[in-house]
Amino acid sequence: MQALTPAAAAIELRGIDKSFGVVHAVRGVSLRIEPGTITGIIGENGAGKSTLMSILYGLYRADSGEIWVGGQPVEMASPRDAIAQGIGMVHQHFMLIDTFTVLENLILGAEGGPLLAGGLAAARAELARLARDYGLSVDPDARVADLSVGEQQRVEILKVLFRGARILILDEPSAVLTPQETDRLFDILRTLKERGVTVVLITHKLREIMAATDRVHVMRQGQIVAERRTVDTGSEELAELMVGRKVRLDLDKVPVGQGEILLRTEHLSLVDDRGVRLLDDIGIELRAGEIVGIAGVTGNGQSELLQVLAGIRAPSAGRFTVCGHAIDTGHPGDPARMRELGLAHVPEDRLRQGMVAAFQASETSILGYQDGPPFTRNYLLDGPAVGAHCAELMERFDVRPRSPGLRSSHFSGGNQQKLVLAREIARRPRVLLVGQPTRGVDIGAIEFIHRELVKARDSGCAVLVVSVELDEILSLADRILVMFAGRIVGEVEPRRADERTLGLMMAGAQAA
């Protein structure tokens, strides 16, 4: 009895098990999270990270196993229980109401009385305190719709703290952030830790693990396969533990001769309803057999450029040609027509654009190609052909589980991304537009996706990649264009580029 009893763990999971039908998502996971630390959880797509955290947060019920919080066994029947235990979760997809102010969002579900005014005043005071204590400043009266993604995420964190959480779970928080915003997020997390908050962080980015965490757990196929103190390990070891083999992210690209121009834009501009110039006089050329990367801080027109080129939005001025066919304000394109011309598009936001959450995977696997053969014959959809097509994509792109009949939303985030990518690349397009190709996918899949993009390029496809990941652009692209405030402000050769000069250009410091 002399031995010091160690302080109770903030969270302890004992033998947690969870299956969805035949998919055994979490297999007997036990893990201990010390109070006041930042713990990282990494693992392949579909390893069960989100499921495990959803169990901890009361969104799913474990089939068996126990959850202990602060040394006490607890029942987690719903998020309400989790919140009562001081556990809060920031979801990858924000749960904010766009038309409400920050303050209104904050008190949603915790209004504090029948009259809003009292609750609002109390919340304002509390918000000021949180801002002071944790260094989380947001204008309480700003409309959420007007905030940047990084700020919206801060509101989500504030919402959790506002409810008194002492344990914060973040599921891939940086997937939607710019590198600068990510840095700021980690500053916030470190402050939270200093104030005694326990943080659990799921991410695919090993450099974030190395930079922010104290401990890291590696999951594979529903199990914890390794646990390390962050100071004792490195990115390479973690990558190997995750995937079970060595990962090589450097690409051997053989230079390809200059091909014909497949996509060319001339003075392309886009002005929105409020008169804001989103695209300004864009002139780019994309040749067969090259990958052009567009670097830039999110919100400088990259998304709009992809939308215009894919035919989703019509340009306000200027024109562009795809495989020799002109599109301008008088002859607007539409997504169906662009596909006919041989253009494929992997949208940045797969959940909102690239798939239908409620559809089966097989239905998602033909989105945009449903009208023609081989999927439609004699005006009827050929169910077996669609299913076989999906199974083939899943095989080739290693989408797990291989169940064409499963609801699309029941796939893990990274596997959804792989399915959408597979759908577009498998059409062997002549022009391929890719937004955030590896958002949310694991490091093994990044390697695979990059190889596939290079393969497409080698077979003569013209590839345009938009990504917030500078390393990705640097390793993939044959040419890099930098976008700032809706304009192309410069072109760089990747061999001569480095992150610093690119960063300066992206910040609009100089036009090269």
Ligand X SMILES: Nc1ncnc2c1ncn2[C@@H]1O[C@H](COP(=O)(O)OP(=O)(O)OP(=O)(O)O)[C@@H](O)[C@H]1O
Query: Strands 291-295 and 462-466: what pairing?
Result: parallel
Query: Strands 223-229 and 11-20: what pairing?
Result: unpaired
Whole-number minimum distance, CB 180 to ligand X, in Å? 24
Identity at 395, one-letter amino acid code: E
Which of the ranges 9-17, 45-53, 177-185, 333-341 carries the binding residues for another protein, by CB under 8 A?
Answer: 333-341
Assess 53 for contact with another protein (CB under 8 A). no
Tokens of 219: 């999951």
Based on CB atoms, which residue is closest to another protein, 370 or 459?
370
Whole-number minimum distance, CB 410 to another protein, in Å? 15
Query: Strands 277-282 and 431-435: what pairing?
Result: unpaired
Whole-number minimum distance, CB 170 to ligand X, in Å? 13
Helix (H, G, I), strand (E, B), or coil: what is residue 91?
A: coil
Encode 113-158 in three state secondary structure. CCCHHHHHHHHHHHHHHHHHHHCCCCCCCCEHHHCCHHHHHHHHHH
Whole-number minimum distance, CB 81 to another protein, in Å? 21
Please pick, from the candidates 20, 68, 94, 359, the single residue that binds another protein as defined by CB under 8 A: 359
**Counting every residue, how long is the chain?**
512
**What DSSP element (H or E) covers 308?**
helix 302-309
Assess 54 for contact with Mg ion (CB under 5 A). no
Please pick, from the candidates 142, 188, 312, 426, the single residue that binds another protein as defined by CB under 8 A: 312
Whole-number minimum distance, CB 28 to another protein, in Å? 32
Whole-number minimum distance, CB 180 to another protein, in Å? 27
Task: Give which of another protein, ligand X, Mg ion, none residue 333 binds (C-beta under 5 to 8 Å, depending on kind).
Answer: none
CB atoms within 10 A of CB 56: 25
Identity at 179, one-letter amino acid code: P
Tokens of 409: 């939303």
Assess 379 for contact with another protein (CB under 8 A). yes
Based on CB atoms, which residue is closest to ligand X, 304 or 363?
363
Whole-number minimum distance, CB 7 to ligand X, in Å? 29
Residue 169: phi and psi, rounded to 5, are: -105, 130
Based on CB atoms, which residue is closest to Mg ion, 104 or 171?
171
Task: Give which of Mg ion, another protein, ligand X, none residue 79 binds (C-beta under 5 to 8 Å, depending on kind).
Answer: none
**Residues in touch with ligand X (CB under 6 A):** 20, 23, 25, 43, 45-51, 400-401, 410-415, 442
d(CA 150, CA 181): 6
Helix (H, G, I), strand (E, B), or coil: what is residue 39?
A: strand
Based on CB atoms, which residue is closest to ligand X, 12 or 44?
44
Task: Give which of another protein, Mg ion, ligand X, none residue 45 binds (C-beta under 5 to 8 Å, depending on kind).
Answer: ligand X
CB atoms within 10 A of CB 316: 15
Please pick, from the candidates 211, 358, 511, 512, the single residue that binds another protein as defined by CB under 8 A: 358
Whole-number minimum distance, CB 120 to another protein, in Å? 22
Assess 98 for contact with another protein (CB under 8 A). yes
Q: Tokens 């795809």: give the residue.
A: 322
Please pick, from the candidates 11, 305, 310, 399, the single residue that binds another protein as defined by CB under 8 A: 310
Task: Give which of another protein, ligand X, Mg ion, none residue 368 binds (C-beta under 5 to 8 Å, depending on kind).
Answer: another protein
Based on CB atoms, which residue is closest to another protein, 1 or 380?
380
Alpha carbon of residue 439 to chain centroid: 4
Burial class (CB in 10 A: 0-12, 13-18, 19+), 183: middle
CA neighbours within 13 Å on the CB side: how many for 489? 22
d(CA 214, CA 228): 9
**Where on the chain is the footprint of another protein (CB under 8 A)?**
97-99, 145, 310, 312, 334-337, 339, 345, 347, 352-359, 363, 366-368, 370-371, 375-376, 379-381, 383
**Where on the chain is the footprint of Mg ion (CB under 5 A)?**
50, 412-413
